[in-house]
Structures are given as structure tokens and as C-alpha cells.
Amino acid sequence: MATSEASPTVIVIDDDPGVRKALQNLLQSVGLQVEALASAQEFFGRKLPEGPCCLVVDVRLPGRSGLDFQEDLAKAKVRLPLIFITGHGDVRMSVRAMKGGAVEFLTKPFRDQELLDAIQSALEGDRARREHDNAISTLGRRYESLTSREREVMALVADGAPNKKIAAQLGVSEITVKAHRGRVMRKMKFRSLADLVRMADKLRAAREADQGRI
């Protein structure tokens, strides 16, 4: 766990004050930050926490049910891992929840370790996702600082073309290609050619994913 990161937060949504308080107590006893909410509506009215985060949601909620809330999250592009808890779960309900991307589906009363394990793995997942997202956005910012000629050179290098071929293709001298290539390495903070190839792939995949989503 990176020490610079904000501490992880669990958001609990349950309309039963007793259960809400108990979950809060349990999670605090293992050093987790807890935000306890009585309804799904309350969630959308607030700012998302800085650090890694996951949701523990009762399926049976007044107003929008837990499963409705899951759909609402997807629509709002909030990609937080979700753990369902329920007093009387049936198979159909749990299938729908897992298809919607839920991490776990626990039936009350559950063993505390079951819930804590589920939370732990949910937070790991969220942390990994955040790191990935951060890396991509840093890479994107650096890429933005490149000139168009530098971006051309980087793309050709990533495709495995030698300097000579790049020079011929761009109609410049090999010396000039080398100079562009050095600036790309410096601006993008690449440490090696392999670094360049890998990062260029990541960047391309993220951009394609972005375009595909829009």
C-alpha cells in the first residue's frame, strides 16, 4: 500500500440503523474508514472519497432497491466495487447482482471474516484500478506535451521501425530522427526502448477504449 495514498473508505448503505451501526463498528475495529448511509439516494448527493473505496449495500432498501442502485452506478460511470448483503437472498437475485458486477453476495447473518475478506479484495481491486487510471492519465498528460512530429516518431519507433526507415518515411535526416527520439524519451520519462513500446501500447489501448465508450 502506497503511504502517500489516502486511507481506504467503505460506504455502507442499509436502512436498518442497528445493522448500519454494527457494520460501522466492525469495519472501524479493523481500521477502515466508514461512511454509513440510510438510502441509495444519499450516495449520489455526496463527493466520492479520495482513496480506494468499496460499497456494502443491502439488497432490500426503501425507494431504489440495492439492485436498482447497482444499475444507477453503472449509468453514472461510477466504477466502485459492490458487495451485497441481504436478509433473504434467492438465487435469481444473486445471479442478477453478480452479472451486474457485484464482488460478493452475502446472506445475513454472515460471519464477519466473510465480509472483511470481501471488502479487502474489493479494495485491492479498486486500488489497482485507481493506479492504472492514474498511470494512464500521467502518460496522457506527457503525451500532450509532445509536438506532432515527436508523436509521429514515437509511433513509428513503437512499431519497431529503425531510424533509417523513419527518416526515409518522414523525409528527414537520420540525425533529426535521433534528436526527436531523444526528446520523446526525455519528455515521456521513458527509461528504455522497451519502456517506450509498452507505454505506447497502453496509451493506444486506453484511447481506443475511451473512443469505444463514447
Contacts with other proteins by CB under 8 A lie at 16, 18-19, 21-23, 25-26, 28-30, 87-88, 108-110, 112, 115
Cα separation, 197 vs 19, whole angstroms: 51
Residue 65 CB, nearest distance to other proteins (Å)?
Answer: 15
Cα separation, 56 vs 50, whole angstroms: 18
Q: Which three cell numbers stand for residue 159?
A: 512499431
Residue 33 CB, nearest distance to other proteins (Å)?
Answer: 15
Residue 108 CB, nearest distance to other proteins (Å)?
Answer: 4
Closest by Cα among 118, 4, 101 to 50 = 4
Cα separation, 49 vs 45, whole angstroms: 13
H or E stretch at 212: helix 193-213
Taking the least distance from each CB to other proteins, the nearer of 104 and 150 is 104
Taking the least distance from each CB to other proteins, the nearer of 34 and 78 is 34
Residue 27 CB, nearest distance to other proteins (Å)?
Answer: 8
Helix axes 17-29, 112-144, angle to 10 degrees: 70
Residue 123 CB, nearest distance to other proteins (Å)?
Answer: 17
Taking the least distance from each CB to other proteins, the nearer of 44 and 110 is 110
Cα separation, 97 vs 21, whole angstroms: 24
Taking the least distance from each CB to other proteins, the nearer of 21 and 204 is 21
* CB burial of residue 189 (10 Å; 0-12, 13-18, 19+): exposed
Taking the least distance from each CB to other proteins, the nearer of 16 and 124 is 16
Taking the least distance from each CB to other proteins, the nearer of 59 and 188 is 59
Residue 115 CB, nearest distance to other proteins (Å)?
Answer: 8
Q: Which three cell numbers stand for residue 69?
A: 442502485
